[in-house]
Structure 1
Amino acid sequence: MKIFYSIPEKFLRTCAYAITTVILATPLFTFANFYFPFITPRNFIFRIAVEILLVVYALLVIQNRRYAPTKNLAIIFLAAFVGALTLASIQGVNPMFSFWSGFERMDGLITFYHLLVFLVVLVSIFRTEEQWHPLLGNSLVIAFLIAMVGLSQFRQVNILLASSGGERISATLGNATYLAAYLLLNVFFALYFLQKPAGSYSVRIFRNGIIALDVLLVVLQGYALIRDNYGILNQVFSDGWLATVFVVAHVLVYGSYFYRSATKAHYVIRAFIAFLIVFFLFMMSITQTRGAILGLGAGLVVAYVLILLQKTPRMLKMGSSGVVIALALCVGLIFANKDTTFVQTVPIFNKIASISISDSTTITRLATWKAAFRSATESPRRLMFGWGVDNFNVAFNKYFPTVIYTDEGTPLWFDRPHNLLIQYLVEGGILGVGLYCAFLVMLLVQMLSRRDVRYTGIIFTAGIVAYVVQNLFVFDSINSYIPFYVLIGCVVTIINRGKQGEQEVSGALSTSAGMLTISAAVVVSVASIVLLNMPALQSNRTFVLDYKKLNAELERKSYDRSTAVTLMDDIGHGPFLGRNELLGATSEYLVTLIQSSQLPASEATDFVTQLVAKFDAARTVTTNDARLNLFEMNLLLNAGSFDKTFFDRAAAIGLETLPLSPDRPHLYYIIGRAYMAKGEFGKGIPYFKEAVALAPNVFDSHWNLFAAYATVGDDSGARSEYQELRRIQTFDNRTYSRVVSVLAAGYQYDFALEVLNQAIAEHPDSTLLYIGLAQIYAQAGRNSEARTATLKAVELDPTLKSEADDFLTKLDAGTFKRLPPVSQP
């Protein structure tokens, strides 16, 4: 036991700084061989780092009791909030999923527990404002690197990786919204340093940070040169924008070395910080994220009001008034000139100008929020305690708003309402969201009550408000959780300044207490790493490697049964985390394999049967998951050609799923298709009609009903739905061809010919349409017309002559003639 008391305190504190810096750097960690590479690696790193940090903290506590957890009302409210979410999850719809979450989000109670431990440990170790400076400085340097990656994507140089968000740059965070939220918090960290007087923090913080960054860049450059690749520094200096930002930042930081006066050196570093603010704001603008811009605006307004209300210099009040007026005028001019070329060609201006009630994004958000409120007020129990953490998808499915379903490409699966307060209302009820709001209010009240840190209080209050407001339009991730909890920790430390002496009791813990403390910390940390994190991490990576191997085999058309067996075995390994996602991904892969015709019927049936058993097992743990059921139903529909009983099961699961999402048209599509595939047309068509009633202006809903009518030979019904399809969408050649194919499959040749002649009248030079016309005439036994249409196609495209000659030979032989059966079903 004595060995624990002999570890130097300074060494332990240095370890804590190092581990926290690793945590701050987690937004940089992206590894391709993981399922959701922008989410899972950094979350596992964060959790494992927090668990190691907990052991370091325990070693500090047993040596000196002054490191015992700090008492603060805001943290108490935050802990109560996490407790409320735990209670909500225990009584919620999917307790297991509430604890673990999934690979796509990696939230869940386990993340909340780690965040709370992270905050308590930070506040307990770093007990003065000055001790937070290196952490905030490191965050800014890391943010600078991330922003440089984003700028490279904007300039299409793509340092490290290309943007996963298309024209909306995402840097290493994988999502433009995440990047904007991350930079927003770092803007306020920079403002904090900018307002600090000379000598209040060490300029070495930024010097050392940039030196560490340069060492990393040199190592990466050297590694690239060894591998004969284009190095990262080559990329930086290949573009004028990147080179300018890089050089300016370095000139300012290293330029501070040339001033013997600490005050002058401080001013140079202050110029660097101001440069970072401008750079971060520019990068926020090109993410085209309105939520972050609105959050920043709200934060600035709050800062302005506080400047007016508090005893601040007159020049500051006048200057801030000028800034606010200028910003208001800019916004007004953007809206007033929203139809001008300039506003429409500047992405962020166009985004701001497009804000309206009729905007598609706004309609979706409002409809989602309405569904959320319906689910939250479903019963007194739900209103008070909610549905449980990460169960918004269940609530959303039950009250699915059909208004958001406008076409085939519409996003329809939401596991977040894009509003953090509404999310906590649904997940934790009034109790949960109330405690979260109480935590925020207490934090702000305590911060503003400290008159001795007026400007710091204004900046951090504005930062918290900006963060909360932007979260009214998006949702959180580990990328923004980490800097936000660092901000909370710094604020709590400032709040507690002057009170520490009342709370602290120096001296080591007794041997028994020390042994208990360190044992508990080690057991919890090791158990969490070994039992919770490593198995899930390994199962995630193993699945991706096997999945990639199978995809490669599929591309080579060299299917290997053993690889498929291994992939399905991967699903059952590891803890619950991500198991349902891997199951869904495997089912989709099996559908692809079936459609590629590479899978023998016996093997397909065997694999589908195995997956069905896994779906059944999953439903015993994760209840009420409509999407999980849809994965299985889609698999069964595609496998029905091998075993007709799969159609029966698809229909049965669909009927079981309907109460979980009664207003979701896709469920009716699948049930209808299952019955149609079974030949039970009288049962299938009513489900397509119900889908049309739910989504009367959606092409797909009318298409399914049209195809059903064509299949059963209902000419009147098919014609009626055809007119609806024409009303909803302008037809191109391919759409006409799809319609004709469906009609031909149902022996509706006369109708098909009408459609083709109408299409040719609109597109007289379409070779595709004349080919289709020839095929329909041939199937109908009208060989003369088929020959004429074929010759017309050759006239339009002479390269088709060889194929046309072959077609005409078969036509004369009667190969294509296809008359309807004597008795239509």
Structure 2
Amino acid sequence: MSYKQLQQTYIWLIRIGLFGIPFLSLYISSGMLFPYITGRNFYFRIIVEAVFLLWIGLMILDNTYRPRSTKLLLAVFAFMVVVAAADFFGANPYRSFFSNYERMEGYLMILHLGMLFMVLTSVFKSRTEWLWYFCSIVSASVFIAVYALFQKFGVFQSLQGGVRVDGTIGNPAYLAAYLMMTGFLSLFLFLEFKKYQFRYAFLLVSVFELMIIYFTATRGVTVALLGGGPLFLVLYLFLVPSETEAGRLLKKISVVALLTTIVVPIAIYLAKDTKFVITNPTLSRLTQISLSDQTIRSRFMIWGMAWQAVKERPVLGWGQENFNIVFSKFYNPKLFDQEPWFDRSHDIIFDWMVNAGIVGLISYLMLYGMALVILWQAWRRGRIYPTEAILFFVAFACYFVQDLFVFDNMNTYYIFFGMLAYINSYEPAEPSDPKSVLRGSREHARSLSLAIPKSLSIVIALGLLMAVFAYVLNVKPLRQSQALISALRMNAQGANPADILSAFKFALSYNSLGNSETREQLAQFAIAAYGNSAVPDDLKRAISSYAVGEIEKQVILSHGDVKYRLFLASLYMRFADTNPDYIQKAELTLLEGMKESPTKQPLLFTLAQYYYNTGQGEKALEISQRAADLAPGYMDAQANLTMIALYLGRKDIAEQAMKKVEEAGDNDHLRGNAYRRLNYPKIIGALQKTGDYAKIVVYYKWLANSEPNNIQHHVGLAYSLAKTGDREGAKAEARKAAELDPKNYGPQVDQFIQFLDSGKELP
């Protein structure tokens, strides 16, 4: 192979790899856990590693492909170094480096993004290459947007259900952020292909993807675009000269567009209480932006927790993927009505301050800063069209603003770093010394005969080394994910529990980044198997013992993450019959968990249940009271306190707690009734042991009115009314149950009424 042939082989293989990356966002790995995340991330890493290796060979073959020392390159390198230090000295370096299946980020993501940036900025030498690369990104986005459109019309189903579309990205917010970035690239291509009529296709793509963003009903991206649109138009009107008649006409159109982008959103917001907006699922969601909104309220509380974490470790933070530890340690008990576990602060500023401290945040912001400096310098030197510079400035601004409400993922990360690499191409090259160039060319000519074997030998040597790392970092966790899915499918299909246990053991034998999620699924299987009467006792013991052992390992590896301690304590309590040591271990595990997260209510609930089950009623009452006091409006906590107090005969405490249960239901307009339907039956069960049927009647009446088609509510109310002496009311409720299901309840109701008519007392 000649020198030129090898050079072109390197270049074309690198191009193929780079142009293939955008289409990974179309790939859904159904045979892996988190199919919208894991598969595409593994293949992203593999492709980046391959093109990086080829680039090293190309760079050795031809030194013109070596990276130039630029402000942005140094900023990317500094960012990578700072994050590496933060992860190494963080709370859990292993998790910070490897991440998990659900996120697939950690330092491995940062490392691969840095590698991608190096390859892009070194290999793409011409504007044509950049345009084709951006065309590949936009082409992939069109397929994803069309898929989302089919979801809107019901051809395909959205992963999260409802009216919001998520495409092949798997999340409406992620899809909106992705399409926002590709929409800007489409506008850029529209501006670039000025001499070609097909350029209007890119304009149509931008409009089409804007429509899909609307269908996602994502408020963060909407806010970003509502600010970005007017910002672009204002900068265009004041900074771009209009020397031609067409230019002046475009300015006039821009003025109209500016007014439209301001007036229309304001008008829709002012009309948020009208039928037109309320009945439109997308507009109703987009106009529900207020400090009292449940999601926004929770964000402020989470940001407060993040700030507490930053104050404790301000310089380099806690390391990536360790917000779960922050969430446990600084948990705000008023978050009871949100999902139980958060692993992100949902704000790019707080995320990076928690991940890598103030130093890490500064290094991240320097990526934006250096990109904007290069854009500004290129504009002043006349090396970039003003409209293009404004477009990229607004794109970066919108990307940053939407990141204030959500977090990044591979689908947006690679586009962001691709934009940075493109902006880096505007950095002027340092002038070369003619003598050194001549000397270098002579040396290059003399060494040309050695360049090919040198390049190939280094590529082969590094390739073998990288293959080992690729197997450990990519292939093993990929196969572990597939093995886990195989175990879960066997479980779903009702396979032999012994075979399922073997499948879980096989998945864990890979000992990779998926261990934590594999162990969680193993524990769920063990709980189900333990409650299955068809499973032999010796097999139950084997399954439960293995599951407990694996979760114990996970607790050690996840110090500070109280979720696994709570999980382990629940297993100890569930499997206490199989091992007498589990009783004491459960208490110790819960007490250790309370040290790590003293305000996490589910932890306190479990500890109270433990004390009650082991005959330590006063301790159970004390812990239940503590959980209820943390957030008086938390109905679950008040209901648990009510039950414990009633079981212990403390009617004074129970009465106060029951009153707070009712107040909590009245105050929570969104979930009050749902909380009542969940907790009232629990309270009724406790009241039945005290014989307070007058109070039971009150709760059953509410339940019967709330769910009139629930037969059990009418049956329970009928019995309770009879116990209070209201036999006629009891008969009426019993007849309602018979009307709902005459075949099964008719004869029983007749017997019940005959019994009441006999005048006998109910048992």
Over 3 Å counting, the alpha-carbon distance change for 1:162 and 1:6 in structure 2 is: same
What CA deviation, in whole Å up to 9, does each residue of 1:370-399 have, x standing for no partner?
111111011xxx101100011111112211
CA distance in 1: counterparts of 2:698 and 2:268, whole angstroms: 49
SS in structure 1 at match of 2:405: coil
Distance 1:727 1:781 in 2: 25
Question: 1:447: Cα distance to partner?
Answer: 1.3
Q: Which residue of 2 is the match for residue 116 of structure 1?
A: 114
CA separation in 2, counterparts of 1:687 and 1:595?
Answer: 28
Match of 1:449 in 2: 377
**Equivalences for 1:680-759 in 2 at 5 Å?**
680-729=616-665, 736-744=680-688, 747-749=689-691, 751-756=692-697, 759=700
Match of 2:143 in 1: 145
For the residues of structure 2 that align with 1:322 and 1:794, how far apart are their CA atoms? 65
Q: Would the aligned equivalents of 1:567 and 1:586 in 2 still touch at CA under 8 Å? A: no
Equivalent of 2:30 in 6, 29, 32:
32
Paired with 1:657 and 1:359, the residues of 2 have a C-alpha distance of: 31
Q: CA 1:787–1:142 in structure 2 vs 1: closer, same or farther (change >3 Å)?
A: closer
Query: What are the superposed Cα offsets for residues 790-814 of structure 1, whole Å, 9 maximum, x if unpaired?
Result: 9656765543134457889999xxx
Write the distance in 1 (CA, Å) between the matches of 2:85 and 2:368: 21
| Structure 1 partner of 2:334 | 403
CA distance in 2, matches of 1:143, 1:27: 8
The equivalent residue for 2:518 is: 582
- Alpha-carbon distance between aligned partners in 2 of 1:105 and 1:701, rounded to the nearest angstrom: 32
* 2:621 partner amino acid: I
Among candidates 180, 192, 216, match of residue 287 of structure 1: 216
Contact 2:309 2:354 in 1 (8 A): yes
For residue 52 of structure 1, report the CA deviation from its aligned partner. 1.2
Matches within 5 A, 1:552-701: 552-553=493-494, 560-640=496-576, 645-701=581-637
**Residue 412 of structure 2: aligned partner:** 480
Q: 1:528 to 1:714 in 2, by over 3 A?
A: same
Contact persistence 1:692–1:701 (CA under 8 A)? yes
Number of the residue aligned with 1:801:
746
Amino acid at match of 1:541: Q
| 1:503-554 deviations in Å (ceiling 9; x for gaps) | 997745757864674256414431222221111100111111111111221x
Q: Distance in 2 between matches of 1:457 and 1:280?
A: 22
CA distance in 1, matches of 2:633, 2:577: 32
Match of 1:383 among 310, 314, 317: 314
Q: Go from structure 1 to structure 2 and tell me whether the alpha carbon gap of 1:769 and 1:343 turns closer, same or farther (over 3 Å shift).
A: closer
Contact 2:234/2:258 (8 A) holds in 1: no
One-letter amino acid matched to 2:321: D
TM-fit CA distance, 1:759: 3.4
Query: How many corresponding residue pairs?
Result: 729
TM alignment of 1:162-181, pairs within 5 A: 162-181=158-177
* Cα distance in 2 for residues equivalent to 1:723 and 1:565: 47
Shift of 1:773: 5.2
| Matched ranges for 1:508-523 at <5 A | 510=451, 514=455, 517-519=458-460, 521-523=462-464
Q: Which amino acid aligns with 1:398?
A: K
With 768-777 and 780-789 compared, the bigger mean Cα shift is at 780-789
Partner Cα distance (1:32, 1:463) in 2: 33
**Residue 312 (str. 1) matches residue 241 (str. 2):** yes
Partner of 2:421: 489
Of 787-796 and 306-315, deviating more is 787-796
Higher relative contact order (CA 8 A, sep 6+): 1
Asked if the contact 1:173/1:179 (under 8 Å) is kept, the reply is yes
SS in 1 for 2:314: helix
TM-aligned CA distance change 1:769 to 1:620, over 3 Å? closer
Check conservation: 2:530, 2:544, Cα contact below 8 A. no
- 1:393 corresponds to: 324
For 1:198-347, list aligned pairs within 5 A.
198=194, 263=195, 266-267=196-197, 269-313=198-242, 315=248, 316-347=250-281
Counterpart residue number, 1:76: 74
From 403, 409, 415, the equivalent of 1:471 is 403
C-alpha distance in 1 between matches for 2:365 and 2:680: 56
| Matched residue, 2:668 | none
Deviation at 1:602, TM superposition (A): 4.0
Pairwise CA distance, 1:412: 2.8
- Report the Cα distance in structure 1 between the residues aligned to 2:734 and 2:299, rounded to whole angstroms: 54
Change (3 A) 1:436 1:377: same
Which of 346, 359, 370 in structure 2 is aligned with 1:431? 359
Q: Which residue identity lines up with residue 316 of structure 2 in the other structure?
A: F
TM-score normalised per structure 2: 0.88
The offset of 1:714, in angstroms, is: 2.5
Structure 1 letter corresponding to 2:491: L
Moved more, 344-353 or 769-778: 769-778
Deviations 1:240-284 (A, max 9, x none): xxxxxxxxxxxxxxxxxxxxxxx4xx12x1221111111010001
C-alpha change, 1:772 and 1:6, in structure 2 (3 Å) is same
State which of 463, 487, 492 in structure 2 corresponds to 1:546: 487
Q: Distance in 1 between matches of 2:273 and 2:714?
A: 43
Q: Are the equivalent residues in 2 in contact too, given 1:165–1:175 (CA < 8 A)? A: no
Query: Matched residue of 2:217: which SS?
Result: coil
Please give the secondary structure, in 1, of the residue aligned with 2:269. Answer: helix
Structure 1 length normalisation: TM-score? 0.82
Query: C-alpha separation between the residues in 1 aligned to 2:534 and 2:750?
Result: 32
CA distance in 2, matches of 1:763, 1:619: 44
Q: Structure 2: which 5+ residue stretches go unaligned?
A: 666-671
Indicate conservation of the 8 Å contact 2:76/2:367, yes or no. yes
Query: What is the CA distance between 1:630 and its match in structure 2?
Result: 1.9
Change (3 A) 1:526 1:134: same
8 A Cα contact 2:375 2:423, kept in partner: yes
Code of the residue aligned with 1:419 in structure 2: it is D
Letter aligned with residue 617 of structure 2 = F
Deviation digits for residues 304-334 of structure 1, max 9, x if unmatched? Answer: 3432453422625444333222211112112
CA pair 514-709 structure 1, distance change in 2 beyond 3 A: same
The percentage of aligned residue pairs carrying the same residue is: 24
Aligned to 1:132: 130
How far apart, in 2, do the equivalents of 1:301 and 1:788 lie? 68
- Going from structure 1 to structure 2, the CA distance change for 1:675 and 1:611 (only over 3 Å counts) comes to same
